Structure 1
Amino acid sequence: MFAFILFAIVCFARPVALMTMELSTTLQGRGGPQLWVKTAFGHKWGFTSSWLLWVQMFPSMVMIASTLCPLFGVMIGQDQLGDNHWFTLAFIIVFYWLITLLNLKFDMAKIGGAIGIWLGVYLPMGLMFILGLAAFLKRGLDPHSMLGAFSLHGTISSLTDTKSLQYVSAVAFIFTGISTTGVYAPRLKKVTHDFPLGLLLALTVVVLLNLVNAFLIANVIPAGSDQLDNIAEPVIRYCQVLGWPSWLAQVFSLLAFLGVALQLSTWVTGPSQMMAEVAKDGLLPAKWHFYRHDAIGVAQNVVITQAVLASLFALLYALPNINSVFLMLVNTAVFIYCTVYGIIGLAFIRVRYLLPNQERPFRVGKTGNGGAWAVTGLLMVGILMIALTTLISTDRLSAVFMLLITLLLFATPLIIEHFKRPAWLTDAQADLQNGGN
């Protein structure tokens, strides 16, 4: 755990954070990663980066939605439902279409914003931490848990064990999405001071929370009995260790369920706005009508397309091994993210040479471009290691699936760009002028 998180920080999170801070404060227009890549390599690759940041949400949201199934089972006192892959499949599809329809009728982003953060993150996280700490103080280190007894030789050998290596990308997933924070930089009054400080503080909190909680959880889950999508399992174990009532786990599950559901609901419309803007620029076929918004600002065609594609990814849960499907979805999302970050890394270097005299309020390296090359090199090493360790530790069928999906989703915007027509832009503008919202 410590080795993988250290690797993820040094070769993944830190380079991406430094690039994000420099690019966000140097290119302060709207658009974030799309603006950076477009400045470096033109509209084609700017569109590709936006597309990849959009499509990664399909495996990501299905994976996150799968955590709702065990929570729902614990809430109603039917814990075994979380182990049923058919129930998981049906639940994800029904739930995703439900929140899609709700977003077409109501402003769910406004309803679920702050409420979702408090219910889904702060309260359950606080409850989990308090229970975990109390259980640790009562029991101490449990040699029969996933954490096990400490052994220097065992720790070192586990770093090359395929069972351990399969979690490298899952650890990296903790830090994905860092680059998208760049879209908020223009909103800050003191962007050159507040944005770097806020981003570094957020990374520090994320690392500490994950390290502490992972340690406490690993010390209470019996070896070999983990269920990756069941975030209520540690709380159930904590209550058993402490001899506290099981309804605490049900309260936790209810809070987490409502919070995650509300957050997922807001994510339905968030990324869709990016595709709507891309469509307005004539980068997508006008007949798709991705640029149209309804009365509450929802791009209906984009949202419905998302629901269809997410449902297709959910079909993976027809496979009986829930843990394997969960990891497959995580790894696929990380592969797509790594593709985007590879493009951003190249754009970072390119912008340095295209705009050598541009004012850089936050700069990687005081002089020259050596620091920029070093940071980019670390990121490329990190991406390569994540890809290799994932492929080595994954069964052949899952590896082929992840590679094919990543290549397909990467090739799609390039194919669309190849067949782009000037009429896409003129038709979209004419439709919008004639009342197409």
Structure 2
Amino acid sequence: MNQIGIYIFAVLVVFVVIQTLCALAFTSSLCLPKSQIMPDELLPKAVIILALRGADPFLADCIRALVNQNYPQYELHIVVDSQEDPAWDIITKTIQQTGATHVKVSPLIVRHNTCSLKCSALVQAIFALDDSYNVAAFIDADVIAHPNWLRELVVPLIDKQIGASTGNRWYLPPSEQWGSLVRYVYNSASVVSMYIHEYAWGGSMAMKLSNLRQAQLLDIWTQSISVDAPVHRALQNIGLKVKFVPTVMMINGEDCDLAQCLRFITRQLIMPRLYHPKWMLFVVQVFVPSLALVVAMGMMLISILRGNFAAAALFGGGFVGYILVMVLLITRLEQGVRQVVWEHSKLMKRFSFRFLVKLLLAVPLTQLISTLATASAMIKQNVEWRGVVYQVKNPYDILLTEYHPYQKSLQALDSKASIG
């Protein structure tokens, strides 16, 4: 019994060390100097592309932020799934209120059946650009860009070795719903992993259009379910890198329940299954510590019943120690992100004692849900997103099998709830 306890304890220690090193590497990147200041006349003409299906809770605020960027020459091009979409009226009203004249809004006309609707929207928007545009920036509607967002994404692209600049999404639960807490914990680990593997996030990303075309991303996107997952390899093939820019980390202040959270994590994990060359490493990182935690808990109870308190202490110490270290890492990551985005975000608030206590429970719950989501992602052949269904045979064999315009009835009643 004691020997098993030592093995389980050792396994958990190994994963704690690995995750600690990765988290420290990420937090170190947040302390790097900001991008150099560049005069307006040297900044290339840019376009911001926003693809929409459904009206995200903070859509109006997102658009207001995008039309008020501190950038000399840029336009905002919005592609909406259809004119029946509830987002259409919000966009029209918001643009009228702002008086912005550098915005183009169009419905999705060319809907490819071999890729996601978002990929179709981006391809349509880019094909419509004339030669005066040098840079394309991409953003999701569930975040609100600060005034220097576009500028801070574009400046790193001056380096000829950089093919794309990117931030990432950081969830900040507005409530203590278990779904929101689990998504927050899961995403904390995901952000670190994406940084370590130098992966881009399409919700806050910019690329030179010349590099985008050279990497043949338009062709790739017309056969892909994901915008960002293929970017790293496509750029790597032409000798370019993805640059992480801490100051364009985006805060998401939406809520979700456990069912939504499970669907979200499963959908997220399908992307590395399809496009990440080290997908099995993801599987190991989820299943091994989960199995170790289950065994540790079970063996601790058995050891207590048998009166073997030394073994019980070993199993219990491994279980509790792992959870405590994970919570400490999350709070350290949170602190690092806060230092970068604090001045731009109105959503940031201090952790309460109650929140930290629930976080202790959310860590093992996240481990469980991530395990279920990983198992589901390994066998799932259909992906559903906001009422659209895709059949996924392999990374570049995608078929849109079920489509209809987004309906208002699918919108959440809670004004801060995620819609997908």
- TM-score, normalisation: structure 1: 0.25
User: Higher relative CO (CA 8 A, sep ≥ 6), structure 1 or 2?
Assistant: 1
Q: Which has the higher strand share?
A: 2
Q: Which has the higher helix share?
A: 1
